[in-house]
A = this chain, B = another copy of it.
Amino acid sequence: MKKNKILLFLFLLGSLTAFAQKKVEKWGTFELTLHGPQGGNPFIGISLNAAFKHGNEVYKPEGFYDGSGDYKIRFMPDEEGEWTYITYSNLGTLNGIKGSFICTPPLTGDHGPLSVKNTYHFAYADSTRFIPFGTTIYQWCFQPDSLQQETIQTLKHSPFNKVRFLIIPPYSKEYLKGPDKLNNFPFQRDSSGNWNLSRFNPVYFQNIEKCIKELRSIGVQADVTLFNPYDKGWGFEKMNQPTARRFVKYVVARFAAYRNVWWSLANENSFIKWMTDKDWDNLFQLVEKEDPYHHLRSIHNAGRIYNYTLPWVTHVSLQYYNAVRVFGVTPLLRDIYKKPIVYDEINYEGNISSRWGQLTGKQMTYRFWVAYIGGGYATHGESFVNNPWISIGGKLIGKSPARIAFLKKIVDEAPDLNPIDQYYIMNMAGEPGEYYLIYFGKEKPGDWKFILPKKNLKDGMRFKADIIDTWNMTITPVNKVFEVKKLNNYQFADKDGKSIQLPDKLYMALRIKRINK
């Protein structure tokens, strides 16, 4: 009774700012909570957004209903100083609410949200380079808290800085194992037990947000997958376009203010038979319109490859295994798309009966090297019979993560990897004249003549070299200095014809750096 009286009082006040921070760090999440009606269907019919202003900057994020009479608007400020806001709603009690907050300096180590840099790469808002090393844990959000925590601890000590995961549960045995989760779905049921696709389940989305924030807290990108074709039992595949659009709007309103979010429109999109490419076009454009921060956007394909050249796609998120089984494909894809190439599924290290989950650690490591030496990026996954990391997370038991960490260290220390002389040399990347990374994969060249493509080279430039064993994770400096001299129209070579003796092993690489004068 007492509680009801307070609610009545609040209602009579019109509406009230139940909660709003007074300080938020740059690229953090400001949240404004308003109380409003619970009756009817607050998920539809009530519009709510707010204009956030700082100097000439204005952002207009959409609000959303979070249950229990709570209406929320989230905002990610990108400038320090005072921000003011005012709400807009078709409901008088939610309309015209004003306020302000102070945006403080970013947290230590926070560089902001990501965008594409130099056509083929990524950078944070503060220009710090971001080099994706992804992994895949489709259903980690739907696991018990203890398992989620184990996953976070594993990620923290792994090379992986981007996680691909689903936000609609697949209909699968793994998912059903999750305790207390069976009634936890994105939608609510009506009294007869049927899904009411016009009523979201806020508790469900709060769980996903907790996961996104956990990743954010350890500096990991959340590659949020909006739709998937694996709902072969829940019944959400009945979503028509208006429902799908409402779902997208709700998700973007809730998640966009988290700086580590990427939007993946779907996993294996062409397996979702009820969606046409035109539908995907429309949903992409909806995300683009609704997300004030322009987080990265792509879609993960099955057989029918979406047209990644379209302007609302920020990067390629490709499932095509052969593209990382041979050299030379990534430079071609870069030229075709003029966007970053992220191989978001290259088969998984594991031992399951499905052939997409049977890579050895060596094969996975090889595919990673092929991706990065082409100027692209790759995403890992493990599918062991007794340790289904790609489904539920937990711990990593494969042999590739340590080697991927070794590769990451090399790549982190290198300039942006771009192909050098790409039409003729398929296994070399770096920065012409300064830095060359050469990966031999399954070739064993033995004696490697010190010859480099001519770009940016001049007679007399001097270089040192390291022999890299990508599998055994060793870096062995070559005890020579190489001085180049023009060899022909295309190449410079060591002036004395020196070469480098490579061990008779698979998976070797060379790193060549210019010696500064």
Q: Mark A349-384, 1 if CB is under 8 A from B, else 0.
A: 000010100000000000000000000000000000
- The reply on A307 being an interface residue by CB < 8 A is yes
Provided the pairs A332-B320, A336-B336, A490-B355 are in contact, do residues A426 and B325 lie with their beta carbons within 8 angstroms?
Answer: yes
- The reply on A323 being an interface residue by CB < 8 A is yes
Q: Mark A316-351, 1 if CB is under 8 A from B, else 0.
A: 000011110111110110011000000000000000
Closest-CB distance, A322 to chain B (whole angstroms): 4
Q: Which of B320, B328, B424, B489 contacts A326 (CB 8 A)?
A: B328
Q: Which B residues lie within 8 Å of A307 (CB)?
A: 309
Q: How large is the interface on A (under 10, 10 to 19, 20 to 34, 35 or more residues)?
A: 20 to 34
- The reply on A3 being an interface residue by CB < 8 A is no
Q: Mark A196-208, 1 if CB is under 8 A from B, else 0.
A: 0000000000000
Q: Are A323 and B332 in contact (CB under 8 A)?
A: yes
Q: Mark A277-317, 1 if CB is under 8 A from B, else 0.
A: 00000000000000000000000000111010100000000
- Which of chain B's residues has its CB closest to A310's CB? B309
Task: Give A267 to B322 CA distance when docked, in angstroms.
Answer: 30
Residues 461-517 of A contacting B (Cβ, < 8 Å): 489-490
Q: Which B residues lie within 8 Å of A424 (CB)?
A: 321, 355
Q: Are B489 and A353 in contact (CB under 8 A)?
A: yes
Q: Which B residues lie within 8 Å of A353 (CB)?
A: 489
Provided the pairs A309-B307, A335-B304, A489-B353 are in contact, do residues A325 and B322 lie with their beta carbons within 8 angstroms?
Answer: no
Q: Are B332 and A329 in contact (CB under 8 A)?
A: yes
Q: Which B residues lie within 8 Å of A355 (CB)?
A: 424, 489-490
Task: Give A336 to B320 CA distance when docked, in angstroms.
Answer: 11
- 19 further A-B pairs in the complex, CB-CB below 8 A; given A320-B335, A325-B328, A326-B328: A305-B335, A307-B309, A321-B423, A321-B424, A322-B327, A322-B329, A322-B331, A322-B332, A322-B422, A322-B423, A325-B426, A326-B326, A326-B327, A328-B329, A336-B336, A353-B489, A355-B424, A355-B489, A355-B490
The residues of A with any CB-CB pair to B shorter than 8 Å are: 303-305, 307, 309, 320-323, 325-329, 331-332, 335-336, 353, 355, 422-424, 426, 489-490
Q: Which 6 pairs, one residue from A and one from B, show the smallest C-beta to C-beta distance?
A: A322-B328, A326-B326, A305-B335, A307-B309, A309-B309, A305-B336
